[in-house]
Structure 1
Amino acid sequence: MHHLAGHPNVISIVDAFEDAVAVHVVMELCSGGELFDRIIQRGHYSEKKAAELARVIVGVVEQCHSLGVMHRDLKPENFLFVNHAEESPLKTIDFGLSMFFKPGEKFTDVVGSPYYVAPEVLRKNYGPECDVWSAGVIIYILLSGVPPFWDETEQGIFEQVLKGDLDFISEPWPTISEGAKDLVRRMLVRDPKQRLTAHEVLCHPWVQIEGVAPDRPLDSAVLTRLKQFSAMNKLKKMAIRVIAESLSEEEIAGLKEMFKMIDTDNSGHITLEELKIGLEKVGANLQESEIIGLMEAADIDNSGTMDYGEFIAAMLHLNKVQREDHLFAAFNYFDKDGSGYITPDELQAACEQFGLRDVHLEDIIREVDQDNDGRIDYSEFVAMMQDVDFGMKVFQ
């Protein structure tokens, strides 16, 4: 990150302190919220604004690549606004998976997040072009409110990334400019050699300042879908963490030892690579895509690593959360007044306890609330916890 110091759209390191256990890094404060949340809050949004955001995102990619750095985990959650001002700078965060590269060098470790991962990453033969693919996915979502490649399972998402067709027919694409579609199409070319470079993206007429991106408002349905996409799975992640933290010492004794064994550098956090090696050692027969999904399922703070609590949550996710007493205890954690329902106020309090800000409660509740009474009862909560397809229904 010191390598990228000074770029206006890359978060800066303020200081670092070391004690006997860890190195504590103090980062620049970004209190303005995540990229999608800001768009939703404003309530007005145009292609021109999407092009402006694309220019910032790809500008960071170009700077990284010019310095021999690839990010490898570009996603909307990794773009934060410095403050709530209208013209607040947008900052790129979380360089935990970034790597230095040399021209022509190829990498094989599968990293990144399912919706945004490039096909060549899944094929274990990639270079910096993977960042342009991820940026293209973000731009597709900025314009339509949904990811270009999705399915009901993580494995299904990966198959779509490798083979699925780009949809420019469904709403709102008929009303999106040809320039925007041309750019996205050329960023999401599966052959990295044929894909636009970051510099070529910035030279595209749709992205340029005073370029061809129209200023008319995008369909309001785009904002609605963005809200739903942003809310996906947040309650389920919190609930799994609650169950993990309520387990008895006897129940987690084995998992505690496993965490120590996998955390080879004793940092208190497990990286994706450590998780892959550790699960292999204990004989867990998981595909790489499933391990990435495991990390995603438990990584509440989007740090790209798992702390002890998140690891226990991940193991719960792996073994399915089906014990009645665990589910009931988790439900009661949210249902503070014992009414038998999780209300918006109770959900808000839980989000604050977990440090989740700018969460759209109505979308989380709507996704789980089967009888549309504006609250979540126990049977709805259990259905969410045991439904592997939960979170994808918003696109169907």
Structure 2
Amino acid sequence: MGNCSSQDNTVPAGYKALKVQQVVQQSGDVRDFYTFDKQLGKGNFGIVHLVFDKKTNEKYACKSISKRKLVTPEDVEDVRREIQIMNHLAGHKNVVNIRGTYEDKNFIHIVMEVGAGGELFDRIAEAGHFSERRAAEVMRTIVSVVHHCHTMNVVHRDLKPENFLLTERGPGGVIKATDFGLSRFFKEGNQLDEIVGSPFYVAPEVLKRSYGKEADIWSCGVILYILLCGWPPFHGDSTQAIFKNILSAPLDLKTEPWSRVSADAKDCVRRMLARDPRKRLTAEQVLNHPWMRENGAAPDEAFVPEILIRMRQFTKMNMLKREALKVIARSLPHMELAGMREMFQEMDEDGSATITVDELREGLRRKGAEIALGEVQRILNDIDLDGNSKIDYEEFLAATMHLNKLSREENMIAAFEYFDKDKSGFITRDELMNAMKDIDAEVDVDAILAQVDQNGDGRIDYEEFCAMMRATDLDVLKSAHEALKTKVVVKSVLARVQAEPMREDSITDMSRKSSRAMATAESRKQRGASATPANAEEGEQ
């Protein structure tokens, strides 16, 4: 965590830790699932260990937070919030992925990716400063993470090179953001007032106790400045001196090596370090700055907020998968849904517990997505599973939760058993029909069955169900491609087209057979076919 917070995490004499009965709302002993290895770091709150998954032998890091150090209710809430935010941001390729949370009598354990390549800070220290090309590559990654945070209603508040890890030490190491201990959920227009962060990286408005997500861009500007010249833009002999310079000292872009830095790079730095947050670039504007564009060219398409990406993915799913996601969303622990709840409440402007088409369009616009009313209406119609022309909370969760939730076996089993009413181990056509009765829409149960039932026995087993749930858009395309390559059934269908007049029932029958061929081809193909060792100060990895 940052070191200019007003909160002192040392346990005062005479105080006792709170009797924290349950923080993470998840049972199970972490040692039942992971083997603990060497210590990677130690901080004021606890210890970080290297651990190995007992089933797969994959490496992870386990941050164990001592309950004895959770002195106040605020301390407990900070831990809960960090876990909530890590779950909320999961899925971005440059965010450390949380694997699971566990709790015992003495510790709260957070298992996550391990950053074997150490901190970005160490790379900077070794290099002194980066070339412009390399600095731009690093900043594109960092700012893309910030853009993801902001579109997901999260402000990081402690961006610095120490909080970015590399997956490996070589040139192929991927940068990953970590330590969300000071991060907060926010609503557009609301201001935060805590002075937190690390002195060199704190924005001037943070020191004035009135700030929003723009403070993260200032911190990014400081990182860019350091990458290009090797030292921070505002420094001093004490924290107070640093703060004074942040508030009033001129930005130096003339002292060497700045004469050798391009005008575009200096312009980007200057606009990220504008003292007036209203004049500062947004994350998307930084990514579109001429100096930041990859190879000097604009991106192929506009940045699409994560929530819209997830909604569009949801609309492409069959009705069984949509309903199954709703079942999973209903059973997820409260801690994993906090971020999505905040986003739902922000879009639900009238507090009706539903989102109308106008509220959805305005909510997406605030996230930076300007899309036509017609597409917004189509998205709403596909998410609205009960047919009342609005999106309720469960429907919103089903459409927007990250699909990494499908990697958990307990979620998949719960969803499968919801449809397998007689506990036979199969979802039959009748069970599928009954499950779809509550949906106020015409659902082609036979088409779903043809798509999912890979072995053609007329029912869906657990393996087939999981394959459907975990399939991506790319998997669907590959399946179709494989089916076309086999030309099984397709030739006979074409022969029938040439020999017989087209009737509505024959079209339906061919559609079912083609779907089954695609699924069978994919089935055949399938059958053949980060924490860091560095300093963990104040609970960091």
Given the superposition, is the C-alpha separation of residues 147 and 39 from structure 1 closer, same or farther in structure 2, using an over 3 Å criterion? closer
Alpha-carbon deviation of 1:87?
Answer: 1.7
Pairing 1:100–2:217 present: no
The yes-or-no answer on 1:125 pairing with 2:210 is yes
Partner of 1:303 in structure 2? 538
Question: Which residue number corresponds to residue 77 of structure 1?
Answer: 162
Greater gyration radius: 2
- Between the aligned partners of 2:224 and 2:163, the Cα distance in structure 1 is 14
2: CA distance, partners of 1:106 / 1:33: 34
How far apart, in 1, do the equivalents of 2:251 and 2:228 lie? 13
Structure showing greater relative contact order (alpha-carbon pairs closer than 8 Å, 6 or more residues apart): 2
Q: How many residues align?
A: 220
Specify the alignment match of 1:180 in structure 2.
265
> Secondary structure of the equivalent of 1:210?
helix
Matches within 5 A, 1:185-204: 185-204=270-289
Contact 2:155-2:186 within 8 A present in 1 as well: yes
Deviations 1:151-189 (A, max 9, x none): 111100000001011001111001100011000000001
In structure 2, what is the equivalent of residue 211 of structure 1? 296
Opposite residue 303 of structure 1, the aligned amino acid is E
Are positions 1:8 and 2:93 aligned together? yes
SS at match of 1:157: helix
What per-residue deviation string (whole Å, max 9, x for no partner) do you get for residues 179-230 of structure 1?
A: 1100000000111111000000000011111028xxxxxxxxxxxxxxxxxx
Q: 2:129·2:227 contact (CA, 8 Å) conserved in 1?
A: no
- Distance (whole Å) between structure 1 residues aligned to residue 153 and residue 100 of structure 2: 24
The 1:151–1:16 alpha-carbon spacing in structure 2 relative to 1, beyond 3 Å, is: same
Cα distance, 1:33 vs structure 2 = 1.3
1:108-257 equivalence runs, <5 A: 108-211=193-296
CA–CA distance in structure 1, aligned partners of residues 193 and 538 of structure 2: 21
The residue type equivalent to 2:104 in the other structure is D
Structure 1 Cα separation of the partners of residues 539 and 100 of structure 2: 21
Q: Distance in 2 between matches of 1:183 and 1:70?
A: 21
Name the SS for the 1:2 alignment partner.
helix
**Any idea what the Cα deviations from partners look like across 1:238-264, whole Å, max 9, x if unmatched?**
xxxxxxxxxxxxxxxxxxxxxxxxxxx
**Aligned-partner Cα distance in 2 for 1:304–1:196:** 32
Q: Structure 2: how far apart are the matches of 1:112 and 1:42?
A: 25
2:105 pairs with 1:20: yes
Give 5+ residue unaligned stretches, structure 2: 1-85, 298-534
* Alpha-carbon displacement from aligned partner over 1:75-125 (angstroms, at most 9, x marks no partner): 110011011231211000100000000010101111000000000000000
Aligned 8 A contact 1:121 1:130 in 2: yes
1:251-290 aligned within 5 A: none
Residues 124 and 230, structure 2, Cα contact 8 Å, conserved in 1 = no
1:68 and 2:167 matched:
no
Deviation at residue 35 of structure 1 after TM alignment: 1.0
CA contact (8 A) 1:94 1:303 kept: no
Q: 1: distance between equivalents of 2:258 and 2:151? A: 33
The 8 Å contact of residues 98 and 112 in structure 2, kept in 1 or not, is answered as yes
User: Counterparts of 2:190 and 2:88 in 1: how far apart (Å)?
Assistant: 19
Give per-residue Cα distances to partners, 1:128-160, cap 9 Å, x unaligned. 000000000000000000100001111000000
Q: Cα–Cα, structure 1 residues 113 and 41, in superposed 2: closer, same or farther, change >3 Å?
A: closer
Distance between the aligned counterparts of 1:59 and 1:80, measured in 2? 15
Amino acid at match of 1:48: R
| Runs ≥4 residues deviating over 3 A | 39-45, 302-305
Instruction: Give the C-alpha shift of residue 43 in structure 1.
Output: 8.2
Inter-CA distance 43–156: structure 2 relative to 1 (3 Å threshold): closer
RMSD: 2.0
Counterpart code for 2:214: E
Contact (CA 8 Å) 1:70, 1:101: kept in 2 or not? yes
Structure 2 equivalent of residue 277 of structure 1: none
CA deviation digits over 1:303-330, x for unaligned, max 9?
A: 368xxxxxxxxxxxxxxxxxxxxxxxxx
Superposed displacement of residue 301, structure 1: 2.7
Percent identity of equivalent pairs? 54
Q: Is the 8 A contact 2:136 2:292 kept in 1?
A: yes
Q: Does the residue aligned with 1:159 lie in a helix, a strand or coil?
A: helix
Please state whether the residue corresponding to 1:124 is helix, strand or coil: coil
Aligned partner of 2:114: which letter? L
Shift of 1:45: 4.0
Question: Distance in 2 between the 1:42 and 1:150 partners?
Answer: 20
Where does 1:293-372 land on structure 2 (aligned, <5 Å)?
A: 301-303=536-538
What is aligned with 1:48?
Answer: 133
Greater displacement, 200-209 / 29-38: 29-38
1:240-296 CA deviation, whole Å, 9 max, x = no partner?
xxxxxxxxxxxxxxxxxxxxxxxxxxxxxxxxxxxxxxxxxxxxxxxxxxxxxxxxx
TM-score (norm 1): 0.53
Matched position secondary structure for 2:265:
helix
User: Where do 5+ consecutive residues of structure 1 fail to align?
Assistant: 213-299, 306-354, 356-396
Amino acid at match of 2:538: S
Tell me if the contact between 1:97 and 1:304 (Cα under 8 Å) persists in the aligned partners: no
- The corresponding residue for 1:89 is 174
Which residue matches 1:35? 120
